[in-house]
Homo-oligomer: A and B are copies of this chain.
Amino acid sequence: MSVPFVVQARCGEARAGLLQTNHGSVETPVFMPVGTQATVKSLASGDLEALGAQIVLANTYHLAMRPGAGLVRDMGGLHAFMAWPRAILTDSGGYQVFSHEGRRRIDDDGVTFHSHVDGSLQRLTPESAMAIQADLGSDIAMAFDECPASDASGEVLRQAMERTTRWAQRCLATTPAPGQLRFGIVQGGADLGLRTGHMAEIAEMSFDGVALGGLSVGEPPETMHAVVREIGPRMPEARPRYLMGVGTPRDLLVAITSGIDMFDCVMPTRAARNGRLFVHGGHINIANAVHCTDALPIEEGCPCEACRRYSRAYLAHLYRVKEILYYRLATLHNLQHYLSLVRGARQAIVEGRLAAYAAQIAAAT
């Protein structure tokens, strides 16, 4: 197999790489903003281009429910539909479906669940999850996995791993969209032995990349960090390594230092909508009364539209009166923060000073 990925520089276990996709190259490490319903909430595709995002994530489950994968296919695929010319990764829908605790039934063939939109009975299998992603036409499709809860027993973890492996084989047996890459997912919870064993199984398959799933699902950050520090460096060298659903700025630096290349997380966008705005050294909560009369921008020197043009006082006003504009400005800022953080880490890897970069960020935090 030939994976369109090259590692261009190393710094300790960390790597700076380049992943070629059907829609442009992606410089790794990379943070992927989450565009669940074919839009990163509150932003237009032009906003994401201006922020320098090279790849976004979209959710198979949500798009299959609304507007439907067939409609997206008929409209020319997800890139045309959301007018986004750069790369898209789609998750498999597994995580969303397994989050439907009590409303879904798993069997060896797939998962039956009720739609969150209209309660209708729906079913996802490895084959249908891949077919939907082929219809969407994403650049990277994720295998359909079983993602157990963070407090699952060893036996449950083991069963999920075994099923995920069988499903991974079935996913690879399907026909992808032309040029579509496919990533496998490693489960195993926080058990290093299980993780190592499952990684070996997934790494043997002809996936174009390997992801760690089932982390950041409720376990303490230290637990997740321990897994990432141990497993990250031993993931396949020649393929992109993706840590799913992670995380805080600190989580990202721990993972980058451990050799992870790709991330996605709703944190910057969801936190923005809830008033939490990231700054070097932590974050501010725009709901705090002190910001109502603060003429400073969220962060001085930040190049985002919110910081270039508006004061914290104005944002605090918009937030309090629930004006739509607040959500866009706050999201622009938090994504700028995340994308800059990861771009800075990439540059530090290239220049052989990642430890100093991470220490500087950690000291501020």
A304-326 toward B: CB 8 Å interface, digit per residue (1/0)?
01000111011011101101110
A38 in contact with B293 (CB, 8 Å) = no
Query: Can you report 19 residue pairs joining A to B where beta carbons are below 8 Å apart?
Result: A37-B317, A38-B317, A41-B323, A41-B324, A41-B325, A44-B325, A44-B329, A45-B309, A66-B317, A66-B321, A67-B313, A67-B317, A74-B293, A75-B293, A75-B295, A75-B313, A75-B314, A82-B314, A83-B310
Max chain B C-beta neighbours (<10 A), residue from A38, A44, A74, A324? A324
Question: In the bound complex, how far is the Cα of B42 from the Cα of A76, in angstroms?
Answer: 28
A317's nearest neighbour on chain B, judged by CB, is B67
The 4 A-B residue pairs with the shortest CB-CB distance, nearest first, are A42-B324, A67-B317, A83-B309, A39-B325
Residues of A within 8 A of B (CB): 37-39, 41-46, 66-67, 71, 74-76, 81-83, 292-293, 295, 305, 309-311, 313-314, 316-318, 320-321, 323-325, 327-329
Partner of A46, one of B44, B74, B309: B309
Partner of A83, one of B43, B75, B82, B314: B314
Give chain B residues whose Cβ lies under 8 Å from the Cβ of A328. 42, 44, 324, 328
Give chain B residues whose Cβ lies under 8 Å from the Cβ of A46. 305, 309
A37's nearest neighbour on chain B, judged by CB, is B321
A44 in contact with B305 (CB, 8 Å) = yes
Distance of A38 from chain B, by nearest CB (Å): 7
Give chain B residues whose Cβ lies under 8 Å from the Cβ of A82. 314
A331's nearest neighbour on chain B, judged by CB, is B324
Give chain B residues whose Cβ lies under 8 Å from the Cβ of A42. 324-325, 328
B39 in contact with A323 (CB, 8 Å) = yes
Question: In the bound complex, how far is the Cα of B117 from the Cα of A317, in angstroms?
Answer: 14
Give chain B residues whose Cβ lies under 8 Å from the Cβ of A38. 314, 317
Give chain B residues whose Cβ lies under 8 Å from the Cβ of A45. 309
Distance of A33 from chain B, by nearest CB (Å): 13
Give chain B residues whose Cβ lies under 8 Å from the Cβ of A309. 44-46, 83
B325 in contact with A43 (CB, 8 Å) = yes
Give chain B residues whose Cβ lies under 8 Å from the Cβ of A314. 38, 75, 81-83
Give chain B residues whose Cβ lies under 8 Å from the Cβ of A71. 292-293, 313
Give chain B residues whose Cβ lies under 8 Å from the Cβ of A323. 37, 39, 41
Give chain B residues whose Cβ lies under 8 Å from the Cβ of A75. 293, 295, 311, 313-314
Question: In the bound complex, how far is the Cα of B328 from the Cα of A90, in angstroms?
Answer: 25
A324 in contact with B321 (CB, 8 Å) = no
Max chain B C-beta neighbours (<10 A), residue from A45, A320, A328? A328
